[in-house]
Structures are given as structure tokens and as C-alpha cells.
Amino acid sequence: MTQADAPRRDAAAEITNLIIRKLEEGVPPWRRPWRMSAGAGQPLRHCGTPYSGINRLYLWAIADARGYASPYWMTARQAEQLGGRVRRHEQGSVSVFFSRMTRDERNPSTGETVSRLIRFLRSHVVYAADQIDGLPDQYRIEREIPTPLAPSERQNAIDRFFSAIPSTVRHGGNEAFYHPTADYIQMPHRHMFRSADLHASTLAHEHIHWTANRNRLARAFGKRFGDNAYAFEELVADVGAGLVCADLGLPNEIHDSHASYLASWLSVMKADKTAIITAAAHADRAWQLLRSYSAAAETGEADQMKRAA
């Protein structure tokens, strides 16, 4: 069978099946303590640009599972252009992106020709630098076990991140939630949590919900997911919290109440193989918005962003 005759990989199904398998094992891949391990870290394209959306999540999970040290990924052709060659029998991974095209269609009733925008998923096969021989030294990363931050240093980073966000956080009671109508986050007092990391993880989760407000990212899933829209928003928040925790070097501890969502997430993913890709894209945008406040604070633009929010 020639390469042209080989069956095409169903990228969406391949990614979704991996996520489903992990969920059925009770280990959502975005809850891994990425920075706390000796893994490769945030996946990067061969040019050094970070991946985003589902590619970040998917390639991160694969690198962690296979123990790759280098964060770089590339196609076989890109490897050859850099002087490298993929080793025989190495299994590639898919990287996906949405593309679009315009198609002219004739209305049979009126005879008029109208243009319709069509979005579709494209993919290509990429390999980790660890699977490639002959690459320049910059792609060779020696495996190191990072030194964990001292609790005080970690807490300082957490406080800097959340204090820059112009959200209203109220404390009291024994529940954590985001109130969309009144636009505030309710959190139990910090001493009510089993650890400072769990408090930060919960705060991250509720802040991802906060980004869904119509004055921010205006995130809503009613039309597409119907009765599952609430569970789908929880999936976005859980994935987004994983990104925040990875960014802060924290383990994303499992929230007690979230175990009940696993069945709903599985149901959505089994019915729609692009659902996790959509969720990851929304989670990525939410995480980027939260990070933008910290970046603005570092450059002295925080007040301007708070007024805009």
C-alpha cells in the first residue's frame, strides 16, 4: 500500500479516544501536575512557538506519558530541513487546526447563487524531538527534575496572579461558585481548604467560569450542547484550571464535586468527537485572558485593563 493509498487518520476521533480512555481511568489528562514532574513542559513547535488549544493539551499528555524530555515537536519534513531524521518505527502524533473555505451554492428555489463559509478540521503528523536523530543541539534537552518552589515563593506567585484579575471574590460559607448574574466569585475562607494548592486550584476553576461573562468572552453552549451545556462549561473550567495550575507550577488537585461530571463529559465526547477540541479552545482563550491581567500588571497597564473589564 502506497502512502497515497493509506487510510487517513481521523484526528478528532484519535484525540477524543485518548481523552475518553483517560477519563474512564479516572485520570483527566489536564489534571496532571505538569511542572512538578520531570516531563518536557509546554509543547513547542520547531520554531519555538507554543502550541495552543487541544494541541497543547494533547501533546502535553503524550509527552508526559512517554517521558519525553524535549518540548519540541515537528513534522518529518521540518525535521529533515533541520538536518534530522525521524527514527524508524516511531509513532507520530496528530496536530490539528481549523481551516475554512468559501463554497458557492445555487438555491434551487430562487436560482440565486450564494456563498457559504465552511469550517473544517485539518491535521498533520508531528514527532517529538526525542523521536528524531540529528537535530541541532538546541532541540536536545537534558532531563532534569525541577526543584520545587518553597511554599512561600509559590504562594507569592499565586497571589500576584489572582490579585491582578479585576474579579469580585467574596469569602464565607462552604461552597465555591461563580454567580453569573451578580458577577462575583464565592469562596470559602482559605483555612477551610485542605491545602493552599487546593484553594488556588479551586480559585482558578471559578475564575475560568468568570471569563464566560457576556462582557468578557461571552461563552455559551446552549444551542450546540443543549441539556449538556452546563456540564460542558464545567469541562471548559476544569481544563482551564489545569492550564492555570500548570502555569503557576501547581498540581491541579481533583475537586470533590467534580467526580460527578465525568459521566456527563464522557457522554458529550462520545456523541461529538470534536467536543473536547472545542472545550480546549475555549479553555485556552479563558486562560490567556486571565494571564493577560498579570502581564498588564507587570507592564503597568493593570489599571487600564481593570477599567476595561
What was the pLDDT predicted at 62? 86
Look at residue 2 in the predicted model and tell me its pLDDT. 40
Give the pLDDT of residue 130: 94
In this prediction, the residues of the chain whose per-residue pLDDT falls under 70 are 1-8, 32-41, 98-101, 116-120, 142-152, 222-226, 251-260, 300-309
Q: Give the pLDDT of residue 283.
A: 95
DSSP string for residues in the chain: --TTTSPPP-HHHHHHHHHHHHHHTT--GGGS-GGGSSS--S-EETTSPBP-HHHHHHHHHHHHHHT----EEE-HHHHHHTT-EEPTTPPPEEEEEEEEEEEEEE-TTT--EEEEEEEEEEEEEEEEGGGEES--GGG------PPPPPHHHHHHHHHHHHHTS---EEE-SS--EEETTTTEEEE--GGGSS-HHHHHHHHHHHHHHHTTSTTTT----HHHHGGGHHHHHHHHHHHHHHHHHHHTT---PPPGGGGGGHHHHHHHHHH-TTHHHHHHHHHHHHHHHHHHHHHHHHTT-HHHHHHH-
Per-residue pLDDT, 133: 96
Domain ranges within the chain, ordered by starting residue:
39-144, 152-309
Per-residue model confidence (pLDDT) at position 128 = 95
